[in-house]
Copies of this chain bind each other. A is one copy, B any other.
Amino acid sequence: MREAVHAATLAELVDKGYAALTVEGVAQRAGVHKTTVYRRWKDRESLLVDALAEHLAVDVPVPDTGTIEGDLRALARSLVQSYTSPTGRAVLAAMFTGAAGLPEIAAAGGHVFRDRLTRAEPVVRRAVERGELPAGTDPGEVLKTLAAPVYLRLLVTGDPVDETTADQAARVTLAAALAGAFVPR
């Protein structure tokens, strides 16, 4: 039941947007009674936070291509794919714009970001172990630098986001990492 309600929540979000999202609409789409939904989630905000967290936890796989260049490129491309799908666009809009006035949703956005970051850190640690990157390279800083231009385009400039964006982000991040710019001073 939980999965069906999560899927229905995201589908409603994509179709109708955050402002028109209702527990009734989600229940109807999931084929359950709305009291069943209310038994588990107290309101539409907690339902949405839960669905977003679940969606985003599995949506960006952590690569292991054997090189830091390959891994950074794969990560950046997954991030771009994740946010340029219809669900991804709706998820992004819900987390960082339309519903950002709601503290729970804003907190969920930050939480999901940190969660993804932590799961991807082995990519950087393996590169340090292989001797590809300088000892002491900060994994979190590397990964934030990789993700930042994608979010900048999605949330600020509105420029197109595609594979070229991902590859350029990987190129810049790798060059800075090789130069030791992520080793704390």
Contact = CB atoms under 8 A, between A and B. Distances in A.
Interface stretch (A20-28, A30-38, A59-67, A167-175): A167-175
Main secondary structure of the interface of A (DSSP, over half): helix
A151 B149 CA distance: 9
A174 B176 CA distance: 8
A100 interface: yes
Contacts of A173: 176
Given A179-B178, A179-B179, A181-B171, A106 B152 contact: no
Interface in A109-158: 109-110, 113-114, 141, 144-145, 147-149, 151-152, 155-158
Interface residues of A, number: 36
A98 interface: yes
A181 B72 CA distance: 15
Interface string A87-115: 00000000011101100001101100110
A157 B110 contact: yes
Contact of A97 (B96, B114, B178, B180): B96
13 contacts: A96-B155, A100-B100, A110-B156, A110-B158, A144-B149, A144-B152, A144-B157, A148-B149, A151-B151, A151-B156, A173-B176, A176-B181, A178-B179
